[in-house]
Amino acid sequence: MVTSVVVHRMQLTTRRTLRAAGADLRRPHRHGSIAAVLANPFAGSHATETQIAEWMTDLRPLADEMATELRDALTTDGEEIEAYGKGAIVGVSGELEIAAAWHVPAGAGLRAALGDPKAQVPSSKKVGALGSQIDIPLVHLHASYLRSHYDVEPVVVPDGPRPDDVVYALVMSTGARPAHRIGGFTIDDVHGDDGLR
């Protein structure tokens, strides 16, 4: 079976948090997501391991493009990306493994766009109906144990995924969770060597 990446729609969403917990933030906290709605070439069928591997390879250019577009949208004022994540929703005629296929190309695309960060890219995936929301976790680029950057970015594509579609998404933010105060080591203590601390 020959597959091709057919993108129906792209959605870029950015937002700024200026005030949290009753106080103005020192600088705006920028959050964002980018989502692509694609035709699922395996809808209604069982993809083989070889087919899924080929599909993941075919998705890499899209992941690179999406990661660069989201990064550039959030850093126009000189900000730097500090946290990231990835996720997918496969339509109800598809199987969860087609959502899971996004993990490898999405992670590679994020790493290429963000200077090879060390932390594992957190992820979520689900089978969902039209307009389903997915909450995608974020962690710091280089330190998965940095509690201040544990966050979630909700992603909803109002007209996706249709039963034969799949939604692939990336998320990023420019800082810690606004008004974070649950302790732990701070961003100034990050070594960034092993992806943990």
The per-residue pLDDT for range 127-172, each reduced to its tens digit, is 999 999 999 999 999 999 999 999 999 999 999 999 999 999 999 9
Average pLDDT on 173-187 reads: 87
Fold for 7-17+29-189, please state it. 60s Ribosomal Protein L30; Chain: A; (3.30.1330)
Sign of the torsion formed by the C-alpha atoms of 129, 67, 121 and 183: negative
Instruction: Express each pLDDT in 78-116 by its tens digit.
Output: 889 999 999 999 999 999 999 999 999 999 999 999 999
For the record, the structure tokens of 60 come out as 């890499």
For the record, the structure tokens of 104 come out as 């490898």
What pLDDT, on a 0 to 100 scale, did the predictor assign at position 1? 46
- Mapping DSSP onto H, E and C, the string for 15-58 reads EEEEEECCEEEEEEEEEEEEEEEEECCCCCCCCCHHHHHHHHHH
Quote the pTM value: 0.94
Closest CA to 60 of 116, 113, 14: 113
Instruction: Express each pLDDT in 18-57 by its tens digit.
Output: 988 878 888 888 999 999 999 999 999 999 999 999 999 9
Mean per-residue pLDDT of the chain: 93
State the pairing for strand pair 123-127/165-173.
unpaired
pLDDT reading at 187 higher than 90: no
Helix (H) or strand (E) holding 67: helix 49-74
The larger pLDDT score, comparing residue 75 to residue 197, is at 75
3: pLDDT confidence band, cut at 50, 70 and 90? Answer: low
- For the chain, the structural domain boundaries read 7-17+29-189
Percent of the chain having pLDDT more than 70? Answer: 98
